[in-house]
Amino acid sequence: MLDIQAAVSLQPCNTLSLPATAEFFCRINTREDLFEALEWARQKNIPVTPLGGGSNLVLVDDLPGLVLQIAIPGIALAPGSELGEQRNIHIGAGENWHQLVLYTLEKGWYGLENLSLIPGLAGAAPIQNIGAYGIELSELFHSLEAVHLPTGELHTMQADDCHFGYRDSLFKQAGRNQYVITAITLSLSTRPHLRLSYPALLQALEGCDAASLTPAMVSAAVCEVRRSKLPDPASLPNTGSFFKNPVVTEDQAAALRQQFPDIVCYPQTDGTVKLAAGWLVEQAGWRGVMRGRVGVHDRQSLVLVNFGGGTGAELLALAEEISDSVQQKFAVALEIEPTIYPAPAKKPL
């Protein structure tokens, strides 16, 4: 029997510790729970909002309708997946992401090591197309299972169906609030293929014998780098990187390099150039700046934090100030990375 509660605080359910209340709230432990909860919401004619670990969202107001906390467990080899070196791993959407990475390393299933210590749950990983230290989830993605909210049908979706982009997917665009992901399947390998091109990771591994490096060592180095740069949300509420690294044309990048020789750029295979948003924010003078109860982290300018008692509205006001100043100084637009709930109203053209 589902335990559907009324007027539940969502402050413990988001890593920014922002205040908001769910009109109704339910924890989903199985796919059957999900179907039952959706039928309950359908009968009441109320909206449904799925949440995972709350590590990639900004709550700016109370959420109407039924909020579903997805907690479906399970990690197993997909049937028939043991072909050569490839291993397809079927993962419940409620599995903790970092614990999943550690588990796969213990089992000798490699590929996720660069994505160590990313907060959140497995089911949210495709929504954001999480990425770090030179790799994105889409490179390891096989498929996912999701329930389509308007019809209640269970869909199996391949990579092309998900429309993956840089920190983006169908589920943040046309499919926003249209699906509840119940499980994902990732294609890993029993043979390590280490990805070591990211500068901070290379620096952390400096002095190590390249021939003896293992995926577990890479994972440990990634954890070390992340801990040195990003505050623990449990001690200082945050959502990690608040802005996406903007992508510009080579001509734009060349003009910026001429004006700002120290600008941090990452050339992309498609000819575009990715700029380091943290560098832009810091150069615009925002590192360590406080605005009342919210502010910019004093070691990583890409991280906005809640010092205690801050609201989503205060955080977004700060983000707008930062974006405006970066636009003015560099003529580069910043885009917020976490998802905003409820969705902001579109500005008139």
Per-residue pLDDT of the chain (349 residues; tens, 9 = 90+): 789 999 999 999 999 999 999 999 999 999 999 999 999 999 999 999 999 999 999 999 999 999 999 999 999 999 877 778 999 999 999 999 999 999 999 999 999 999 999 999 999 999 999 999 989 999 999 999 999 999 999 999 999 999 999 999 999 999 988 999 999 999 999 999 999 988 889 889 988 887 889 999 999 999 999 998 889 999 999 999 999 999 999 999 999 999 999 999 999 989 999 999 999 999 999 999 999 999 999 999 999 999 999 999 999 999 999 999 999 999 999 999 999 998 776 554 4
Q: Is the separation of the CB atoms in 41 and 65 below 8 Å?
A: yes
Active-site entry in 113, 136, 314, 337:
337
d(CA 263, CA 279) in angstroms, rounded, equals: 7
To the query of whether residue 55 is one of the catalytic residues in this protein, the response is no
Six token digits for residue 284: 């615009």
Active-site entry in 17, 169, 241, 301:
241
d(CA 284, CA 168) in angstroms, rounded, equals: 26
The DSSP code sequence of 148-217 is ETTTTEEEEEEHHHHT-BTTB-GGGTTTTTTEEEEEEEEEEESS------SHHHHHHTTTS-GGG--HHH
Using alpha carbons, list the distances in angstroms from residue 195 to 133, 200, 213, 222, 334: 8, 12, 11, 11, 28
Q: What beta strand segments (E) does the chain contain?
A: 5-9, 21-28, 48-51, 57-59, 63-70, 75-77, 86-92, 131-132, 135-136, 141-148, 153-158, 179-189, 238-241, 247-248, 265-267, 273-275, 290-291, 294-296, 303-306, 339-341
Q: Which amino acid is at 222?
A: V
d(CA 3, CA 329) in angstroms, rounded, equals: 52
Q: How many CA atoms lie within 13 A of 233 on its CB side?
A: 23
> Please, which residues have CB within 8 angstroms of residue 279's CB and are 6 or more apart in sequence?
263, 264, 301
Q: Which amino acid is at 180?
A: V
**C-alpha angle 335-337-343 in degrees, rounded to nearest 5:** 90
- The pLDDT, as a whole number, for residue 152 is 92
To the query of whether residue 167 is one of the catalytic residues in this protein, the response is yes
Active-site entry in 17, 143, 145, 167:
167
To the query of whether residue 206 is one of the catalytic residues in this protein, the response is no
Six token digits for residue 332: 């580069």
